């Protein structure tokens, strides 16, 4: 067993020109050893990881021919559940690490695969290189990844599960990204450092993305010296965790004496105290409703316990870069569920890895709700003059459209209270549609069962035609079916042939349930199959976009097996969406890789031939 080299914690960013910076990811430290006979992946404590993470094992074996020239090989890295390119999800990797059921492990490895991120190399072709300096090792590692055609930076969407962690010379450049994407922090490494087994070294420095909370002391634990902290939530004490680190010996002694002298109660384990002593604590994130890695920061003699509120605690759970401002974070946007502006911004931030790929390079139309759902909304196509410089735009037909290609732009739009994100069916680089979308629009939510019926009939046809499809809620009252297409291959006339064919098929199956009648008054209670809406210049709501409904519903991607009786639009709301993805995975995770393998041309040729027949 190899014991890994470990970084030292610092509360200040290292200074000097001989440092390189890597993003720090929160997962299981993992040493990969690969010789001509076997592959092992061991944790920091020597625990074998390949059995719990079969997706990594399968991927490594699939790459054996690429890696063969470099064997025997030893790599140092972190096994993670990637939330985005700069953040790993601590809770998800913990859940995976505790799994023992082979069935559950297999299900999770398929729906939410983890990634092995490599940052160092210790041996190549059987030769140890730990005596070489960090920069040389990093160059050798990158060359291997280049030759093996593996990602040179973390990418949560990539099916290549072994990825390279790059280094950066500019601290501010990478720190802005870590802050924006709510990453754990960075590891600064001296360019000339050598890899030293089992040593906690000062040539590697971890600098973390701390969050701060103002809270009060509620108790002291006599057995271990921990201080318990809380905040007020609706005038009740809400516990947020306990801390011991960060206190100087004299501070710890003084705090204990104050608690002892002013105790409210005492038992065998605890001394309890009324809220009175206010402190500021820094921590990484909230995990299972408690602070992770809390450290005492300072006493807050300027505060009273009533200043330490749960609402403030929530707002400060994520840091923002200096050029992102959230104005009026307390502003109520929805009543039931209760959602404030800061909750909405946090949703956009967390959903961004799943939503941004659909917004990328598309001319955006938003619906803004300046007063939340309590006031009138308005459409916005033109980018306003006051937009910051980082907002990209595209001029088309006299309109200066916003192109939302970055999380910063998404958060800025969120701060403008853009609830709904509507997209054309093609990118700014496309000639013709990038996908086919069927919009299944029942008269009201009371007839939502008609959308389910139509979707299942369409799915049956698409499966028969061997077309790969995806389904999502509109977030309002209907369903939308997507068929990804290769870029710059088909015209809207081509796709109209197909959408018209499917619409007519539905009507032939059940004319009492479905119609293509555009006049609402002539539809009755039938579902409108809006195949004409799939055209140049028309738009559709983006996957994962919130909707301006009273229930704060989302245009949520679904797994096809969920499209059945009992499916309800109201069950897919802003507060539950991230938890759903973490629990079940992203139903649209393979959307973009499907584009190149979609077998649409033979079907189109058949329809063209029949359309020309007398």
Cα 372 to Cα 375: distance, rounded to the nearest angstrom: 6
**Is 24 marked active-site?**
yes
Biggest distance spanned by C-alpha atoms of the chain: 99
* Beta-carbon count within 10 A of 305 CB: 20
Q: Which of the residues 3, 15, 24, 466 is marked catalytic?
A: 24
Q: Which residues are bridge partners to 367 per DSSP? A: 379, 420
**H-helix or E-strand containing 115?**
strand 115-124
Rg (CA), the chain: 28
**What is the spatial order of strands in the sheet that 479-484 belongs to?**
514-515, 527-529, 435-441, 479-484, 470-473, 557-558
Question: 115-124 and 162-164: which strand pairing?
Answer: parallel
Q: How many CA atoms lie within 13 A of 141 on its CB side?
A: 29
Cα 8 to Cα 199: distance, rounded to the nearest angstrom: 10
Cα 215 to Cα 94: distance, rounded to the nearest angstrom: 27
Please check whether residue 204 is in contact with residue 6, taking contact to mean a CB–CB distance below 8 angstroms.
Answer: yes
* Beta-carbon count within 10 A of 397 CB: 8
Q: Which residues are bridge partners to 79 per DSSP? A: 28, 116
Measured at the alpha carbon of residue 581, what is the angle toward residues 579 and 585, in degrees to the nearest 5?
145
Which residues participate in catalysis according to the annotation? 24
């Amino acid at each position: 067993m190899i014991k890994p080299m470990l970084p030292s914690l610092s509360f200040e960013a290292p200074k000097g020109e001989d440092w390189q910076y890597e993003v720090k990811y929160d997962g299981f430290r993992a040493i990969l050893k690969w010789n001509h006979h076997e592959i092992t992946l061991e944790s920091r404590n020597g625990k074998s990881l390949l059995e719990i993470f079969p997706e990594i094992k399968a991927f490594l074996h699939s790459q054996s021919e690429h890696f063969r020239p470099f064997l025997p090989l030893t790599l140092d890295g972190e096994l993670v559940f990637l939330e985005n390119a700069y953040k790993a999800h601590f809770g998800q990797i913990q859940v995976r690490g505790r799994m023992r059921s082979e069935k559950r492990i297999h299900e999770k490895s398929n729906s939410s695969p983890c990634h092995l991120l490599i940052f160092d190399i210790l041996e190549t072709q059987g030769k140890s290189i730990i005596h070489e300096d960090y920069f040389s090792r990093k160059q050798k590692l990158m060359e291997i990844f280049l030759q093996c055609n593996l990602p040179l930076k973390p990418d949560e969407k990539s099916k290549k599960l072994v990825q390279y962690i790059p280094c950066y010379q500019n601290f501010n450049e990478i720190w802005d990204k870590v802050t924006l994407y709510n990453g754990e922090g960075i590891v600064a490494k001296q360019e000339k450092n050598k890899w030293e087994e089992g040593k906690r070294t000062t040539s590697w420095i971890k600098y973390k993305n701390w969050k701060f909370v103002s809270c009060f002391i509620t108790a002291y634990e006599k057995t271990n010296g921990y201080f318990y902290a809380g905040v007020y939530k609706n005038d009740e004490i809400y516990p947020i965790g306990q801390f011991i680190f960060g206190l100087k010996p004299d501070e710890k002694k003084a705090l204990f004496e104050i608690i002892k002298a002013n105790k409210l109660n005492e038992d065998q384990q605890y001394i309890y105290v009324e809220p009175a002593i206010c402190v500021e604590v820094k921590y990484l994130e909230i995990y299972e409703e408690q602070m992770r890695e809390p450290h005492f920061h300072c006493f807050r003699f300027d505060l009273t316990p009533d200043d330490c509120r749960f609402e403030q605690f929530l707002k400060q759970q994520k840091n923002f870069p200096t050029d992102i401002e959230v104005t009026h974070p307390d502003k109520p946007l929805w009543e039931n569920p209760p959602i404030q502006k800061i909750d909405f911004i946090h949703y956009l931030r967390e959903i961004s890895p799943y939503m941004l790929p659909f917004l990328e390079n598309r001319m955006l139309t938003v619906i803004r709700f300046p007063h939340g759902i309590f006031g009138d909304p308005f459409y916005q196509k033109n980018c306003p003059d006051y937009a910051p410089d980082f907002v990209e735009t595209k001029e088309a037909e006299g309109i200066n459209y916003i192109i939302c290609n970055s999380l910063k732009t998404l958060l800025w739009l969120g701060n403008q209270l853009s609830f709904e994100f509507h997209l054309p069916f093609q990118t700014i680089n496309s000639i013709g549609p990038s996908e086919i979308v069927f919009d299944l629009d029942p008269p009201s939510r009371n007839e939502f069962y008609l959308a389910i019926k139509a979707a299942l009939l369409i799915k049956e046809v698409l499966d028969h035609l061997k077309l790969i499809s995806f389904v999502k809620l509109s977030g309002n009252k209907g369903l939308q079916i997507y068929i990804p297409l290769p870029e710059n291959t088909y015209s809207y006339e081509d796709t109209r042939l197909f959408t018209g064919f499917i619409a007519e098929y539905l009507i032939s199956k059940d004319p009492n349930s479905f119609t293509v009648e555009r006049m609402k008054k002539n539809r009755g209670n039938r579902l409108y199959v809006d195949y004409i809406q799939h055209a140049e210049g028309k738009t559709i709501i983006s996957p994962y976009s919130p909707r301006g409904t009273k229930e704060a519903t989302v245009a949520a991607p679904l797994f096809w097996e969920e499209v059945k009786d009992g499916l309800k639009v109201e069950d897919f709301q802003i507060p539950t969406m991230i938890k759903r993805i973490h629990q079940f995975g992203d139903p649209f995770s393979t959307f973009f890789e499907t584009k190149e393998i979609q077998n649409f041309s033979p079907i189109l040729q058949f329809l063209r031939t029949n359309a020309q027949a007398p």
